[in-house]
Amino acid sequence: MNTSTVINPATEDVLRDVELLDIDAVDDAVARAVAAQRRWARLAPAERAGALRAFAAVVDAHIGELAALEVANSGHPIGQAEWEAGHVRDVLTYYAASPERLTGQQIPVAGGIDITFNEPLGVVGIITPWNFPFCIPAWKIAPALVAGNTVVFKPSSDTPHCATLLVELMDQAGFPAGTVNLVTGAGGEVGDAIVDNPDVSVISFTGSSATGKGIAVRAGAKLKRLSLELGGKNAIVVLADADLELATDGIVWSAFGTTGQRCTAASRVIVERSVVGPLLERLEARASRLRLGSGLDAAVDVGPLINAGAVEKVGRYVGIGRNEGELVLGGEAARAGELAHGHFFAPTIFRDVAPMDRIAQEEIFGPVLSVIAVDDYAAAATAVNQTRYGLSSSIFTRDANAAFRAMRDFETGIVYVNAGTTGAETHLPFGGWKETGNGHREAGHAALDTYTEWKSIYVDFSGRLQRAQIDNQA
C-alpha cells in the first residue's frame, strides 16, 4: 500500500499517513456510486432531505472535533475553523430545504400542458482544494445529493484527514452505502481518473485556473457537465471620501485572514492618491500587530502557509515585488521563536505598485498586498478590471452614486460595498467571471443547476394530432 505523510503546517509535526489510491480504486468507487445512485434517486425528496438534516445534526455535535482537525490539517486559527464547521452545518440545513426548488414548471401548450422536471445526472466527481477542507466539499456534496446524485469525492492531498472525518460523519448520519465515496491520492492520477471515467456525468472542481483548464480539456472531450471555481486577484477600491478606519478593517481581514490563502482574498488595494498616505499608515500599524502562530492559540491572527512550497512561492513573488514597488512591511518568512518549525510568512505590503505589474496581476495565494494609487473612480474601475480574473471586488465610499457605479462597472461575480472581499453566504450564489470559472455557481439555489438536467414532458389531452409550431407555418 502506498502512503503519503501529512504534516501540521504550523509545527511540522507528522499527522497520520494517508493511503494513496490508484485508477483501479477510482473505478471501484465509481461502480459503487453507480450502483447506489438509482436507489438514492428513487427515494422521495423528503427522505433525501431528511438524510441531510441528520448529517447536519451530527456535524453540530462534532463542531469541536472538526475545528481541531482543521487547525492541525490546514493551519487555520481556531476561531476560523469553528466558523467553518458551523458553516458546514448551515449548508446542509439549507439544502435539506431545497427539494421544493426542484419542482420545475407547468407551461400551457396547444392541446395540453408541458411539465418540466429537474432530473439528477447520475454520478458526480467532486475534486476540492485544501484551504477550506470542510466548507467547499459541503457546498458541492449537499446540492448534488439532495438532487438525487451520488458522489465520488477526491480531497486535496494536503488535507485528506478532514475529508475522511467528514465522510465518517456522513456514515454516522445513516447515508446508504455508495452514496458518497472517498478516494485519496494525487490529482494527476486519481483526479484525472475521475474526470476520465465514462460513468461520471458531472465534474465539480475548485482550484487553480491552470488545473481547471486541464480538466476542462479532458471533460470537454466527453461532453461532461463541468463546474469550475478557480483563481482570483481581488481588489478593494478606497475612494477619498471613505471611512478609512472601516476600510482598514476590511482590508486587513481580507488580505491576511486565512493568511491570504483563499480565492476571495484581497491582494490589491486601489486607492485615490489623496488618501494613500493616511490609509497606508493605518494598514501598516494594524498589520504589524497581527500575531502569527499555531491556530490552537486563540490569540493568533495569522496561521501558517500550507506547506514549504507555498513559502517558496510567496518569497519568489516578494522578490518580484521588490523590483516593482516599494516594500512597506514584511517581505520574508517568519521563523523566530515558536515559528521556527512552521511555514509562516510575515504579512507583507507593497506601495507604488502599477496596475499591470506582476504582483498586481498574478495570483500569489499568500499574505501579500499591493497598494495601487489612482487619480479617480474611473481609473480605479479600470484597474479593478485589468486582470484575467473576476471573482470578488469591493469599494469603500460614502458616495451612493459611486457605489452604484461600482455595482455596474466592476467585472466580478461578487461586489461588496463598504466591506472586504471575503465571505460566503449559504443562500447566495458564489462564483466569478473570466478565468475565475466557467459560469456555474456554488451555494444558493443556483448550485442545483450544476447537478440536474431539465426534462420537458408534453401531455396532450386534446384528442387530436398536435403539430409543433415549426410544422404549423403556412
| Catalytic residue (one of 70, 82, 229, 272) | 229
Q: Is the CA virtual torsion 347, 352, 354, 358 positive or negative?
A: negative
Q: Cell 478516494 appears where?
A: 183
Residue 177 to residue 164: CA distance in whole angstroms? 15
Closest CA to 348 of 252, 424, 226: 252
| Catalytic residue (one of 263, 363, 435, 442) | 263
Contacts of residues 97-104 at CB distance under 8 Å and 24 or more positions apart, as own/partner, are: 97/49, 98/49, 98/143, 98/146, 98/445, 98/448, 99/45, 99/46, 99/48, 99/49, 99/146, 101/445, 101/448, 102/45, 102/147, 102/448, 102/452, 104/454
Which neighbouring-strand residues pair with 19?
Answer: 3
The C-alpha cell at 223 is 461532453
State in Å, rounded, how far the first CA of the chain is from the last one: 71
Closest CA to 304 of 274, 265, 259, 347: 259
Residue 271 to residue 352: CA distance in whole angstroms? 11
Residue 132 to residue 54: CA distance in whole angstroms? 22
- Residue 289's CB: how many other CB atoms inside 10 A? 10
Q: How many residues does the chain have?
A: 474
Residue 215 to residue 11: CA distance in whole angstroms? 34
Closest CA to 266 of 277, 278, 253: 253
| 263 catalytically annotated | yes
Residue 165 to residue 215: CA distance in whole angstroms? 27
| 19 catalytically annotated | no
The C-alpha cell at 93 is 440545513
Active site residues: 229, 263
